[in-house]
Copies of this chain bind each other. A is one copy, B any other.
Amino acid sequence: MSSNIIPPSEQTSSALIIGAGGVGVITAYSLYHCGLSEVSLVTRSDYDHVVEFGYKIDSCDYGEITNWRPHNVYKTVEDASSAEKFFDYIIITTKNIPDGPKDSTVHAILKPVIEANYKLNDEKVTNVVLIQNGIDIEKEVLEHFNPATYNLCLLSGVQLIASTKVGPGHIVQKGKDHVSFGSFDKDDDIAIGQAKKLVSIYHNEGHNTGVFDENVRKTRWNKLLYNAAINTTTALVGLDVPRCFEFSVEKKATEFEVFRPAMQEIVSIAASEDVSIDENLIEFFNDVTRNILYKPSMCVDLENGRLMELEIILGNPIRIAKANGVETPTLKLLYNLLILVQNKLKEQKKLIEFDEEILKLVV
Contact = CB atoms under 8 A, between A and B. Distances in A.
Given A237-B344, A254-B340, 20 more contacts: A237-B337, A238-B341, A239-B344, A242-B360, A243-B347, A246-B354, A246-B359, A247-B343, A247-B344, A247-B347, A247-B361, A248-B336, A248-B339, A248-B340, A249-B336, A251-B361, A253-B336, A257-B332, A257-B333, A293-B359
Interface string A284-309: 00000001110000000000000000
A332 B254 CA distance: 11
A242 B359 contact: yes
Nearest to A359: B242
A67 to B, nearest CB: 35
Contacts of A293: 356, 359
A291 B246 CA distance: 39
A193 interface: no
A7 to B, nearest CB: 50
B336 A254 contact: yes
Given A237-B340, A333-B330, A336-B254, A243 B354 contact: yes
A238 B235 CA distance: 13
Contact of A291 (B251, B336, B359): B359
11 contacts: A233-B337, A243-B340, A243-B347, A244-B340, A247-B354, A251-B361, A253-B336, A254-B340, A291-B359, A293-B359, A329-B329
A311 to B, nearest CB: 11
A320 interface: no
A292 B356 CA distance: 9
Contacts of A109: none
A161 to B, nearest CB: 22
A206 B266 CA distance: 58
B236 A236 contact: yes
Contact of A339 (B247, B336, B341, B359): B247
Nearest to A236: B337
A275 interface: no
Interface string A249-288: 1010110011000000000000000000000000000000
